[in-house]
Amino acid sequence: MAEFKKADSMLEWFDQRLGVVNFAKVMMTEYWIPKNINFLWAMGVLLTVLFTFLLVSGIFLLMYYKPDAAMAFDSVNYTIMQEVAYGWLFRHIHAVGASVVFLVIYIHMFTGIYYGSYKKGREMIWISGMLLFVLFSAEGFSGYMLPWGQMSYWAAYVITEIFGGIPVIGDELVVWIRGNFYVADSTLTRFFMLHVLLIPLAILGAIVFHFYSLRFPHVNNEDGEFFDFDEEAEKYLAGNKKESKVVPFWPVFLSKDFFVLGFFMLFFFYLVFFHYSFAMDPINFDKADGLKTPAHIYPEWYFLWSYEVLRGWFFEIAGISGKDLGLMAFGFANIIFVLLPWLDRSPMVKPANQRPYFKYWFWLMMADLMVLTEFGKLPPTGPNAWVGFWASLVFLVLFIALPFITKAEAKKVEGK
Partner 1 sequence: MKEFKILAVIMALVGITYYGIEPYAHSVMHPEVAPADFSFKDLKNVDTKLAGNVENGKVLVEANCIACHAIEKAGHPAVMPNADAAASYGVVPPDLSQAGRIYDKNYLANFIFDPVSAMHLQHKYSPESGKAFPMPSYNWMTPQEIMDVVAYLQSIAPKVAEGKDAHKATFEAACGRCHSMKYAGIEAATPVDTIKTYMGATPPDLSQYIKSRGEHYLHSFINDPQLLLKGTSMPRVGLSEKAQEEVIAYMEEIGDSKKAERESLGVWVLLYTFIFAILAYLWKRKIWSEVH
| Partner from ligand HEM, partner 1, none binding residue 138, C-beta < 5-8 Å depending on class | none
Assess 102 for contact with ligand HEM (CB under 6 A): no
Assess 390 for contact with partner 1 (CB under 8 A): no
| Residue facing ligand HEM at closest CB distance | 44
Q: Which helix (H) or strand (E) holds 44?
A: helix 43-62
DSSP string, 326-361: HHHHHHHHHHHGGGHHHH------S-GGGSTTHHHH
Q: Which window, 57-65, 135-143, 159-167, 365-373, contacts partner 1 (CB under 8 A)? A: 365-373
- Quick count: other Cβ atoms within 10 Å of Cβ 107? 14
Decide: 337 and 270 in contact? Cβ < 8 Å.
Answer: no
The pattern of x and - marking residues 25 through 44 that bind partner 1 according to CB under 8 A reads: ----------x--xxx----
Beta-carbon contacts of residue 389 (< 8 Å; ≥ 6 apart): 312, 313, 314
From CA 232, how far away is CA 224, in angstroms rounded? Answer: 16
Assess 329 for contact with ligand HEM (CB under 6 A): no
Q: Which of 303, 384, 293, 257 is nearest to 139 (CA)?
A: 303
Tally helices (H) and strands (E) across the chain: 17, 2
Question: Residues 186 to 225: which contact ligand HEM by CB under 6 A?
Answer: 207, 210, 214, 219-220
Beta-carbon contacts of residue 344 (< 8 Å; ≥ 6 apart): 116, 118, 119, 358, 402, 403, 406
DSSP string, 173-193: HHHHHHTSSSS-HHHHHHHHH
- Least distance in angstroms from the C-beta of 3 to ligand HEM: 40
Assess 126 for contact with ligand HEM (CB under 6 A): yes
- Least distance in angstroms from the C-beta of 256 to ligand HEM: 11
DSSP string, 126-159: HHHHHHHHHHHHHHHHHHHHTT-BHHHHHHHHHH
Task: Give the residue, chosen from 95, 130, 246, 325, that forms a contact with ligand HEM under the rule CB under 6 A.
Answer: 130
The pattern of x and - marking residues 104 through 143 that bind partner 1 according to CB under 8 A reads: ---x------------------------------------
Assess 132 for contact with ligand HEM (CB under 6 A): yes
DSSP-based three-state secondary structure for 35: coil
| Partner from partner 1, ligand HEM, none binding residue 220, C-beta < 5-8 Å depending on class | ligand HEM
| Partner from ligand HEM, partner 1, none binding residue 213, C-beta < 5-8 Å depending on class | none
The binding site for ligand HEM (CB under 6 A) comprises 41, 43-45, 47-48, 51, 105, 108-109, 112, 115, 117-118, 125-126, 129-130, 132-133, 207, 210, 214, 219-220
The binding site for partner 1 (CB under 8 A) comprises 35, 38-40, 74, 77-78, 81-82, 88-89, 92, 103, 107, 241-242, 244, 247, 251-252, 255-256, 258-259, 261-263, 265-266, 269-270, 272-274, 278, 282-287, 295-296, 301, 304, 366, 370, 373-374, 377-379
